[in-house]
Amino acid sequence: MGHSAVVWDHRAAIEITKDWNGVDQVVLRNPHGASARVSLHGGQVTSWRNEQGEELLFTSTKAIFKPPKAMRGGIQICFPQFGNCGLLEQHGFARNKIWAIDDNPPPLHPNDSDGKSFIDLMLKPSEEDLKFWPHSFEFRLRVSLTADGDLTFISRVRNINGKPFSFSFAYHSYLSVSDISEVRIEGLETLDYLDNLCQRERFTEQGDAITFESEVDRIYLGSPKVIAVLDHEKKRTYVIKKEGLPDVVVWNPWEKKSKSMVDFGDEEYKQMLCVDGAAVERSITLKPGEEWMGRLELSVVPSSFCSDHFDIRRRDF
Ligand code: BG6
């Protein structure tokens, strides 16, 4: 993995190493042994471990760790589009680019720094990007690990163009689950969704919590700020809090699609679920000089704690 330089924050450490392709990656640690790894390839989080060292994000055993494509797993930044239309590549170019470490980001609230181990990254369009998407922007991404082991993201996109532009966005998050048939999502029931399996036709969710028994590829619209993904077998719950991101994409490829993906194992759909904080249905428009911010916070709590003490519908971010 090459040499490494250790820079100590007052309570936590940031370590910069090279990945298998010689691209810098940043390991964030908290004082209790939790960690997260962020690659400058795509600004992608490729690992998030709790204090016990358990991996909380899914990475395919068939993942291809070779630029320019993003590897299958972790958390990918989808920008300036989510999905596949026009000249841009599927889910936009941001996840396929090499980001830079941002040494001097514009200030954030002290709460976004205090007690956290974090890294600031930046993406600007290349000449090549401007051919396909002719809009100048600065994308600043902060990835943090809190003292409690939560993983948080702050994305700031600024228009430095002479004209307005629009984009869509998602934190494409591969959660690791014990068995997809034991998983349910709470917080999306009764919402409208666009079904990617039916040319984005609009439907309304009927049931209680969302469970899985076949391929799902949906964009839930106008979702609450907090949703929960309950894993019965593991007795743990992912709590997803978001701001500036009205939609939630839910994806599991199931059996047939899994077999068609070269970088995904035939049976791996059982161990993963993508639940993405996103802004897809209505694109975000920025006038010259304007900035958009989208936040995501992921935490993991024991499921018993969740059902006894934690009503997600009443919680605010
Ligand atoms: C999901 C989309 O979020 O990502 C799916 O809703 C898509 O339609 C999936 O197949 C994986 O996309 P990709 O480009 O990473 O293979």
Domain of 288, CATH number, reads: 2.70.98.10
Is residue 316 in a domain?
A: no
Ligand 1 atom nearest 218 alpha carbon = 6
Ligand 1 probe mutation, 172, 258, 262, 264, most atoms within 8 A of CB:
172
pLDDT at 308: 43
Ligand 1 atom nearest 90 alpha carbon = 14
Is residue 178 in a domain?
A: yes
Q: Which amino acid is at 124?
A: K
Is residue 315 in a domain?
A: no
Number of domains in the chain: 1
Is residue 139 in a domain?
A: yes
Give the Å distance between the CA of 137 and the centre of ligand 1: 25
Is residue 206 in a domain?
A: yes
Q: Name residue 294's beta-bridge partners.
A: 155
Cα separation, 203 vs 94, whole angstroms = 30
Q: Are the C-beta atoms of 64 and 263 separated by less than 8 Å?
A: yes
pLDDT at 305: 60
Is residue 314 in a domain?
A: no
Q: How far is CA 41 from CA 18, 32, 50, 119, 233, in A?
A: 11, 27, 23, 14, 33
Is residue 220 in a domain?
A: yes
Ligand 1 probe mutation, 274, 275, 276, 281, most atoms within 8 A of CB:
274
The closest of 24, 35, 105 to 293, measured between CA atoms, is 105
Cα separation, 98 vs 250, whole angstroms = 27
Ligand 1 atom nearest 172 alpha carbon = 3
Nearest CA to ligand 1 atom 9: 251
Q: How far is CA 43 from CA 33, 82, 143, 311, in A?
A: 22, 16, 9, 32
Give the Å distance between the CA of 249 and the centre of ligand 1: 10
Per run of 10 residues, the mean pLDDT along the chain (length 317 residues) is 46 81 94 96 98 97 92 98 89 97 94 92 95 96 97 98 96 98 96 97 92 98 97 96 98 98 98 98 97 98 64 47
Is residue 20 in a domain?
A: yes
* Structural domain range at position 167: 5-309
Work out the number of other CB atoms within 10 angstroms of the CB of residue 48.
27
DSSP string, the chain: ----EEEE-SS-EEEEEE-TTS-EEEEEE-TTS-EEEEETBTT-EEEEE-TT--B-B-B-TT----TTSPPSBSEEEE-S-SS--TTSPTT-SGGGSBPEE-SSPPP--GGGTTT-EEEEEEE---HHHHHHS---EEEEEEEEE-TT--EEEEEEEEE-SSS-EEEEEEEEEEEE-S-GGGEEEES-TT-EEEEGGGTTEEEE--SSSB--SS-EEEEE-S--SEEEEEETTTTEEEEEEEES--EEEEEE-HHHHHHH-TTS-TTGGGGEEEEEEEEEEEEEEE-TT-EEEEEEEEEEEEHHHHHHH--GGG---
Q: Name residue 114's beta-bridge partners.
A: none
pLDDT at 10: 40
Pocket of ligand 1 (CB under 6 A): 90-91, 172, 196, 217, 249, 251, 274
